[in-house]
Chain A
Amino acid sequence: MKFRKVFLYSLATAVTIGLASYAIVMSDRAEQNHRDLNNSYDRAFYDLTSYMDNVEVLLAESMIIAHPVNTSITLEEIWRQANLAQENISQLPVGQSVLSTTSKFLNQLSTLAYAASNSVSSTGEIPESYRSELENMHQYCLSLATDLHYMEDSISDGTLDWGVLGQTLYHGGTSDLISPLGDHLVDIPEIVYDGQYSDHLTNSVPKGLKGNDITSEDAVEIMKAILEEAGVETPVVTLKGESEGVIPIYSLGIETADGSNANAAITKTGGMLLWYLWGKESTDEINISIAEAQEMGADFLAAIGFEEMVATHTETVYNSDTGNIITVNYCYEKDGVRYYPDLVKVRIDGTDGTVVGVEARGYINCHSYRDSIEAAISEEDALTYISSDVTVDSISRAVIPTDYGTEKDVYEITVNYMDKTFLVYIDVMTGREERILVKTPE
């Protein structure tokens, strides 16, 4: 009896001590992980601050450097370091509104510096408009760097807990320390330059929309006709809603004979198919070859209003889970010139050849009448601008998109190097090597 009591007491003590030690170990570990996480946030913050300081100094230097090579190198360094600053700030839990303003500023600064550097390499100097933009950006850089140094004190003395900060901001709270960061950056006027994040891109108007506005009933009828061409049997098409956005659309729901659902969007202007997607269950039985799929897709596109489209790239996926889908990229071709911005993708079921998807945003954004441009450089001359280490397969004319919404007339030269196929694009006016792409096997 007494022994039993003693045993129970001992057991109770053992359990208590055991639990207490477990709790100590776990809280120690949690503390350690928390410290590790805070350390990596601190690291990102310190990197961000030093990149900002560097960018500020480099911007000041770029204004007075006289030699074009040095100017170009300095601008490229701004591009690189501003990009790294953006990467670091986006790893911090600063909340979306702070991130949006600072990230946009850094992205624009880095791509503006890149565009300026490109101009310097072709003309030898920074164009006046870029110079004044960069000077303007320099002032904002100074104030952002000052804000960051102000925050540095709270980070150095360990009072800022990034985890708590993230949680506060996520639940709609504010922080006296972080929330004002980049406040003044919202005053930056719109910047237009030849780069990826130029403000003119957000306001661009789709060029491919032509014709009159249609009603939602028209949209349903147009879709039914498209589905008939696609090989979808007895579909029921219903209007799901409409959306304004950059390309105003009617969105449609489609119920197919097998009871599965597909969706599509028809543009309000001109009643064109913007996209259509059917997640149809497929099998891994392959009855359609790539060449057949390319032809079927081109015929389908011609029947629904996308004429003179040529297959440029095909991706085939055989997957035991999702069946086999052949996705063919098409671009518009006229008089032997391929217009790559006018892109339409078609998904074809490899088992029965049904068209199970169309994506025409590229075409609708870019397709327009273009004057044919007389090349200043002949095909023979263009070939002298490429590396002598490659063997040339073919050369033809093409139009390619730039990152900033314009187009370039180029020669597309297919070359071979070390058993790999590359596409080299040479500007038909300047002979400049615009882009090189590795051609992925189909």
Chain B
Amino acid sequence: MKKTKTIIRYFVLGTIATLLVACGFLYFAVFSGLTNDSESMEDASEYLGSTNIAHAANNNITAEQLLARAINGEARGEPYEGQVAVGAVILNRVKSADFPNTIAGVIYQPWAFTSVHDGQIDLPIEEGSTCLQAARDALNGWDPTNGCLYFWNPETATSSWIWTRQVMTKIGKHNFGI
């Protein structure tokens, strides 16, 4: 009888203590979730190592950087021609009436690019990477796709709609089409 009482006492005390701890945790978690967004932002930038991103010495920095990040997210393992081609597709969309009219508009169009959806666009551009040069050449008018508006990796493409596009050329792992 006494033993049971002791067990119950320990159990009740243990539970109360746990609840207190849990309440404290809950309070801080909610509190930080509502007010302290900057902390999570810092964590993210640390994880992404954004300080390593190479910057261009050029007047057109915003467009070039954004395009280079998109190329890095979509085609960092591709041959140079394939990297320029991805940049050219983005710029062909900017010029097309059927798509948003700015580089950021095209890149951040909902569901348009996998790398934007899964966060690969925010990966740091590695030292020695050719993505920035590829962005620059694409902005300068080089277009290995001859005017294509779509590209996809036939091995990993998840959108069934993309297969309705006509393939115009293949560069590296990507199909390019209109």
> Which of chain A's residues have a CB closer than 8 A to the CB of B144?
263, 265, 275, 277
Binds B, one of A47-55, A230-238, A355-363: A355-363
Binds B, one of A3-11, A146-154, A293-301, A370-378: A3-11
> Which of chain A's residues have a CB closer than 8 A to the CB of B127?
321
B90 → chain A, closest Cβ, in Å?
14
B140 → chain A, closest Cβ, in Å?
6
B62 → chain A, closest Cβ, in Å?
15
Question: A17-B19, A171-B158, A279-B80 given as contacts; is B133 within 8 A of A325 (CB)?
Answer: yes
> Which of chain A's residues have a CB closer than 8 A to the CB of B10?
3, 6-7, 10
Residue-wise interface mask of B (9-21) relative to A, using a CB-CB cutoff of 8 A (1 in contact, 0 not): 0110011011101
Within 8 A of B (CB), among A163-211: 166-167, 169-172, 197
Cβ contact of A359, chosen from B25, B98, B140, cutoff 8 A? B140
> Which of chain A's residues have a CB closer than 8 A to the CB of B18?
10, 13-14, 17-18
Closest to A25 in B: B29
Report if A57 contacts B (CB, 8 A): no
Q: Decide if A277 touches B84 in the complex (CB within 8 Å).
A: yes
> Which of chain A's residues have a CB closer than 8 A to the CB of B142?
275, 277, 357, 359
Closest to B159 in A: A170
> Which of chain B's residues have a CB closer than 8 A to the CB of A103?
97-100
Question: A21-B22, A245-B146, A317-B136 given as contacts; is B54 within 8 A of A197 (CB)?
Answer: no
Report if B67 contacts A (CB, 8 A): no
How many residues of chain B have a CB within 8 Å of chain A? 58
Report if A334 contacts B (CB, 8 A): no
Assuming A103-B98, A279-B79, what are 12 further A-B pairs, CB within 8 angstroms?
Answer: A10-B10, A13-B14, A14-B14, A17-B18, A21-B26, A90-B105, A96-B161, A104-B97, A104-B98, A246-B146, A277-B144, A319-B133
Of the A-B pairs whose beta carbons lie under 8 Å apart in the complex, a sample of 23, sorted by A's number, is: A6-B14, A14-B14, A21-B26, A21-B29, A29-B33, A87-B101, A87-B105, A90-B101, A96-B98, A97-B161, A107-B97, A166-B110, A170-B159, A261-B79, A261-B80, A265-B144, A277-B144, A279-B81, A319-B57, A343-B141, A345-B140, A347-B137, A359-B140
Contacts from B to A (Cβ < 8 Å): 3, 6-7, 10-11, 14-15, 17-19, 21-22, 25-26, 29-30, 33, 54, 56-59, 79-81, 83-84, 97-101, 105, 109-111, 127-130, 132-134, 136-137, 140-144, 146-147, 158-161, 168-169
Which 10 pairs show the lowest CB-CB distances between chains A and B?
Answer: A279-B80, A10-B14, A172-B160, A93-B110, A14-B18, A90-B100, A100-B98, A6-B10, A322-B133, A197-B97
